[in-house]
Structures are given as structure tokens and as C-alpha cells.
């Protein structure tokens, strides 16, 4: 008993006993999952299906809260300022990993003010061209672009977005010069490709597949290092000669810094369990999302690698925020 008392005293003195007690009672109130974008989009849909399943496991409702604006900065700032008790979470997207590179005066540090919980899912982009473009393969597109520097246009959902960076990375790695045409959203860029207003774009698989099947656009490759099960016959850009090419839209769950490791572990377990649920799998299938689920350490390494690549692309392409 004396030894136990000494151990407990040590835990209390170090502040660990309170952390353990907090984790045992977690969650003690309804939770919030903050989404940086409007309802109905990929991040929102992912958050809603995941939060419903996680709530069953955690025993508390999880309210999805859309805080739109400044390319995710408003939502991230809100979560950074929230209590570090695991009751406020951020559904982070690939776009938020670009902002620290584009904006030097962010009100938070992405790597220190937010704690990784788990990568939730990845959605590959597809390199597509309008049927009027004579290129049938990536090699042929590169040859065409080299023969016509700056004359081929690629569209994206806006300056600094993931599809924009995918196009710039393609130009960098293929040693070609393409002209970027930013639109106000992915649907507008897709429409512009279908109409022939632009020659090239990098839509998500779900929006690309129907148009490819209808013959309105031609798919040349996917942007992830592995083929996607949604279009298994389509080669990757890596296979097509651009070794190491890796870009995607992705979703990850983050928490405010200061949260206890025990709560992070509890959240991580709830996410992994939710990702195995059939109802979550069905929604992800419809959205073209490949579920992942990994450790906080793996997610941390993933985000750092993304930010490093983002910085290299932004600098090389001279991208400036709008």
C-alpha cells in the first residue's frame, strides 16, 4: 500500500493521474467535428458518415459543424482554440496542408497546434483530357505539351488547391509548360474540360468515371502511386514514366494540441472501427474514397511529407495566394 501511495503521489505530481481519469470518463459530453467546407461536399459527407458510426462506439453524439472560409483556415483556427479535451475535432483535408506554404501569417502552426489522430481516406485524382486532344497516353500528352509550350490549358478548382498542385507537379516532372486556368470549384473545371474550354484537368475519380464512360473526356492515368480500385485498368502516372508522382485528395482527423495520448488512442480506435463498418464503406465507395486508417505517428509523417512536397511545388511554380 505504501508503494501504491508513492506511485499515485508521483502520478498526481506529474499531472498524469488527471489525464488518466479524464480519458476514463471520455467523452463526457456531446462532441463536435468541424468541417472546413460547405455541407454536401466530400469533406462534409466523410465527416457525417464517420461521426455517426464513431458516436455509436464513443457513446456521445457527434455534431458536424461547417465553418467555411479562407481555404480551411477559419475551421482550423476554431479547433486550435478549442479545449484540448477531445470534444472538438477537425476533419482536415489536403487543402489545409497547402495553406502554411501559401500564407506566412497563419494564426496557428499546423504541426504544433494540432495533433494527428488518423488518416481517414484518400481519393485519387485522374489525369483527363478533352477528346479533341490527340494524346492517347501520358507519353503522347507530354510530347504534345513539349511541342506546344504554354498552349495547353489545365483547369483546377482554384489557386493553391490540390488539383492545381497536381497539375503543376505534372508540368514540373514532365518538363513541360502548361497554362493554369483556375475556376471557382471542381464542378466548373470539370464542365470546362467536357466542353473543350480547357484541354486538361485532374478531377476526382467519382466525377471523372461517368464522363469517361460517356466518352466526353479521356482518362490517361491516376495520380496516386497505386492504381485505384475504382478504375483498375487505368495506369498510374508513376507507371507512365513520372516516377514517384503522388497526389490525392485526402481526409484526416485532427485534435487540438495538449490532448492526452489516452484520448487520442481512444479516438483512433473509434475511427478504425468505424472504417470497417459496411455503411461507412458504402458511402466511401459512392464518393470514390479509399479508406485508410493509420496511427497518429503515421499521419504525422504523412502530413509532413505532404507539406514538404507542397512547398517545393509552390516555390517552383511561383504560386501566390488569391
DSSP 210-278: HHHHTTSSEEEEESSSS--TTSTTSPBTTTTT-TT---EEEEEEEEETT--HHHHHHHHHHHHHHHTSH
Q: What is the pLDDT of residue 322?
A: 74
Q: Which residue has the cell 506529474?
A: 14
Contact 300, 76 (CB under 8 A): no
pTM attached to this predicted model: 0.89
Tell me which of 3.40.190.150, 3.40.50.1100, 3.40.50.1220, 3.20.20.30 is the CATH number of domain 30-122+249-317. 3.40.190.150
pLDDT at 104: 85
Query: What is the rounded distance in angstroms from the CA atom of residue 132 to the CA atom of residue 138?
Result: 15
What is the location of CATH 3.40.190.10 in the chain? 126-222
CA trace torsion 28, 280, 128, 220 (10° rounding): 120
pLDDT in the model for residue 20: 53
Please identify every stretch of the chain with a pLDDT value under 50, giving residue numbers as ranges: 1-9, 11-13, 15-18
Q: What pLDDT was estimated at residue 239?
A: 97
User: What class does CATH assign to 126-222?
Assistant: alpha beta
Q: Are 292 and 122 in contact (CB under 8 A)?
A: yes
Query: Is residue 141 a contact partner of residue 135, using CB atoms and an 8 Å limit?
Result: yes
Q: Where in the chain is the domain with CATH 3.40.190.150?
A: 30-122+249-317
- Residue 175 grid cell: 518538363
Burial class (CB in 10 A: 0-12, 13-18, 19+), 217: buried
Amino acid at each position: 500500500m505504501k508503494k501504491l501511495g508513492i506511485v499515485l503521489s508521483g502520478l498526481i505530481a506529474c499531472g498524469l493521474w488527471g489525464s488518466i481519469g479524464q480519458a476514463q470518463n471520455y467523452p463526457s459530453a456531446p462532441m463536435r467535428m468541424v468541417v472546413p467546407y460547405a455541407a454536401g461536399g466530400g469533406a462534409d459527407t466523410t465527416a457525417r458518415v464517420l461521426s455517426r458510426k464513431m458516436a455509436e462506439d464513443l457513446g456521445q453524439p457527434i455534431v458536424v459543424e461547417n465553418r467555411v472560409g479562407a481555404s480551411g483556415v477559419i475551421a482550423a483556427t476554431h479547433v486550435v482554440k478549442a479545449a484540448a479535451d477531445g470534444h472538438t475535432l477537425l476533419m482536415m483535408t489536403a487543402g489545409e496542408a497547402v495553406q502554411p506554404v501559401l500564407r506566412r501569417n497563419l494564426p496557428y502552426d499546423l504541426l504544433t497546434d494540432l495533433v494527428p489522430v488518423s488518416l481517414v481516406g484518400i481519393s485519387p485524382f485522374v489525369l483527363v483530357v478533352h477528346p479533341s486532344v490527340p494524346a492517347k497516353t501520358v507519353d503522347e500528352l507530354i510530347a504534345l505539351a513539349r511541342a506546344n509550350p504554354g498552349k495547353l490549358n489545365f483547369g483546377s478548382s482554384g489557386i493553391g488547391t490540390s488539383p492545381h498542385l497536381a497539375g503543376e507537379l505534372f508540368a514540373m516532372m514532365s518538363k513541360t509548360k502548361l497554362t493554369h486556368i483556375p475556376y471557382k470549384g471542381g464542378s466548373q473545371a470539370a464542365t470546362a474540360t467536357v466542353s473543350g474550354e480547357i484541354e486538361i484537368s485532374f478531377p476526382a475519380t467519382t466525377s471523372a468515371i461517368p464522363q469517361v464512360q460517356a466518352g466526353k473526356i479521356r482518362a490517361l492515368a491516376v495520380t496516386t502511386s497505386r492504381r485505384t480500385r475504382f478504375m483498375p485498368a487505368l495506369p498510374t502516372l508513376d507507371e507512365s514514366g513520372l516516377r514517384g508522382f503522388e497526389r490525392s485528395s485526402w481526409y484526416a482527423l485532427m485534435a487540438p494540441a495538449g490532448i492526452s495520448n489516452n484520448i487520442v488512442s481512444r479516438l483512433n480506435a473509434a475511427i478504425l472501427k468505424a472504417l470497417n463498418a459496411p455503411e461507412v464503406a458504402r458511402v466511401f465507395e459512392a464518393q470514390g474514397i479509399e479508406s485508410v486508417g493509420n496511427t497518429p505517428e503515421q499521419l504525422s509523417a504523412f502530413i509532413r511529407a505532404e507539406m514538404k512536397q507542397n512547398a517545393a511545388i509552390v516555390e517552383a511554380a511561383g504560386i501566390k495566394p488569391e
